[in-house]
Amino acid sequence: MVVGSKTKPPVATEKIGGRHEEQDVGATAGVRERHGLEHWVGKASDEKKFEIKVPAGILAKYVGTYVEQPKLWSETLVPRVVEITVSGDTLFGEMDGRGKAPLVAATETEFSGLYGLGVAFTGNGPGRAEQLFVKHVSGNYRFTRKK
């Protein structure tokens, strides 16, 4: 790896597939770009470093059963079901009976940890959440609260 000149922002050149590519060195802390695609760097445990504490009253608004809405992820066309529970100050998610997974709060409405997927809650005003989005590499999937 070679560092660029003093007159330009620091860049690194890296031999990839027989050719050299430049990359802004300042952009390598977290996300790297190659061939126009993002490549995330890190491990799942890194999320705990930036976890915030969400008040119990807000977590309680998320508890419930949510059913996947079209466009469905599964080719079987059977909607997935996410059950959200809370124990103490930890929110848990369980999809299709796969076992409870603790969710890590990045904000008061966005969490990670659902089997490697993100979760975002939305609602109408100060009441309970009416839907959640499961954030997947293939897109966000909408789940609505079961009445």
The reported pLDDT for the residue numbered 145 is 95
Q: Which domains does the chain have, with CATH numbers?
A: 2-41 (no CATH), 48-145 (2.40.128)
With beta carbons less than 8 A apart as the criterion, state whether 136 and 60 touch. no
Instruction: Name the percent of the chain lying above pLDDT 70.
Output: 66
- Do 13 and 22 form a contact (C-beta atoms < 8 A)? yes
Mean pLDDT of the chain: 76
Q: What percent of the chain has pLDDT over 90?
A: 51
Identify which of 69, 50, 81 has the alpha carbon closest to the alpha carbon of residue 141.
69
d(CA 118, CA 40) in angstroms, rounded, equals 14
Beta-bridge partners for 90: 87
pLDDT digits 0-9 by tens, 3-62: 443 444 444 444 444 444 444 334 333 433 444 445 555 565 666 777 899 999 999 999
State the average pLDDT over residues 115-140: 89
CB atoms within 10 A of CB 47: 16
Q: Is the pTM of this model over 0.85?
A: no
